[in-house]
Amino acid sequence: MDFTGKTAIVTGGSRGIGRAVCLELAQGGANIVLCYAGNDSAAMKTAADCEAIGVKAIALRCDVSDSVQVGALVEAAVERFGRVDILVNNAGITRDNLVMRMSEEDFDAVIAANLKGTFLCMKAVSRLMLKQRYGRIVNLSSVVGLRGNAGQVNYAASKAGVIGMTKSMAKELASRGITVNAVAPGFIETDMTAAMTDAARTAAQSSIPMGRLGKAEDVAKAVVFLASDSAAYITGQVLAADGGMAM
Ligand code: NAP
């Protein structure tokens, strides 16, 4: 994939899937603006690893659920690189519990980071992309947004919401050279799933036709395809990167 001269914003780019997306885009020649919640050392390392590939990269602390911080993130990207071609809405959190034990705070926090954050970032780049008449937006949903999962009502709602938002935004922007798609990962080996018990991991594995958990790179390849010009005629779609789980 050739991204030479392009600028990509990747939210939650410090670790896991976001880090893999940053590196994959950098391999294609894109300059990277990554944001993160608080893990300075992981963010600096990803930015440095992108620069070692030969592109420019900046890492900025930015809570995607805060419109002022998101505005500053996009402004910083424009100031540094002059444009934003690609937005990957990857930042996300879980606060799992059964509904009866789920606090209102945990429900709100997950919706704010995963769903409102995606909305705010898309809103912040949309004017710019419309002016450029070019843009690629890729939103991270989840197999849980497609199928639901006990103990994840908040997360499932946020990820199903991301799909509805992706399709609506795709319709709003389709005539202007801007595509909006989603990737729905299954169980991927990152910090997010590291806390799973062995029993939960075995159960997850047995529900995956390919018989293994995914790697961050498995998801990054799907994201980068949708961000590329090879996917120029694809919009409003949800691509599952899940070893066959959701079929
Ligand atoms: P992860 O390893 O837990 O990393 C989460 C990333 O998001 C980190 O970079 C974190 O920053 C950042 N972040 C969290 N809250 C943020 C906020 N409010 N503002 C800005 N950045 C924030 O997660 P992951 O497993 O790579 O997941 C990435 C995406 O894929 C998420 O949207 C997740 O829901 C989705 N997904 C993951 C799986 C899976 O199995 N792992 C499956 C389906 C979907 P810090 O490093 O500073 O904390």
Q: How is 109-144 classified by DSSP, letter by letter?
A: HHIIIIIIHHHHHHHHHHHHHHHHT-EEEEEE--HH
Which atom of ligand 1 lies nearest, measured to the CA of 42?
46
**What b/e readout covers 156-171, taking b as 16+ CB neighbours within 10 angstroms?**
bbbbbbbbebbbebbe
57 CA to middle of ligand 1, Å? 19
pLDDT on residue 200? 83
Q: Which of 36, 134, 155, 233 is catalytic?
A: 155
Contact 51, 161 (CB under 8 A): no
Question: Considering the chain, what is the average pLDDT of its residues?
Answer: 97
**What b/e readout covers 196-206, taking b as 16+ CB neighbours within 10 angstroms?**
eeeeeeeeeee
pLDDT band at 60 (very low <50, low <70, confident <90, very high): very high
Q: Tell me if 118 CB under 6 Å of ligand 1.
A: no
The pLDDT of residue 197 is above 90 = no
Q: Tell me if 17 CB under 6 Å of ligand 1.
A: yes
Rounded-to-integer distance, Cα 21 and Cα 35, Å: 13
Q: Tell me if 136 CB under 6 Å of ligand 1.
A: no
Q: Residue 82 in 3-state DSSP?
A: coil
Q: What percentage of the chain carries pLDDT values higher than 70?
A: 100
172: its two tokens = 């709003």
Beta strand spans in 37-187 (E): 57-61, 86-89, 135-140, 178-185
16 CA to middle of ligand 1, Å? 7
pLDDT band at 165 (very low <50, low <70, confident <90, very high): very high
Mean local confidence (pLDDT), 164-193: 97
195 CA to middle of ligand 1, Å? 14
Contact 32, 47 (CB under 8 A): yes
Of 54-58, 137-141, 201-205, 215-219, minimum mean pLDDT range: 201-205
175 CA to middle of ligand 1, Å? 31
Nearest residue (by CA) to ligand 1, atom 27, is 17
The pLDDT of residue 92 is above 90 = yes
The pLDDT of residue 204 is above 90 = no
The pLDDT of residue 203 is above 90 = no
Nearest residue (by CA) to ligand 1, atom 8, is 12
Q: Tell me if 89 CB under 6 Å of ligand 1.
A: no
What are the pLDDT digits (tens) for 140-160? 999 999 999 999 999 999 999
pLDDT on residue 129? 98
pLDDT on residue 240? 98
The pTM (predicted TM-score) of the whole model is 0.98
Nearest alpha carbon to residue 126 among 87, 81, 92: 87
Q: Tell me if 39 CB under 6 Å of ligand 1.
A: yes
- Is 155 an annotated catalytic residue? yes
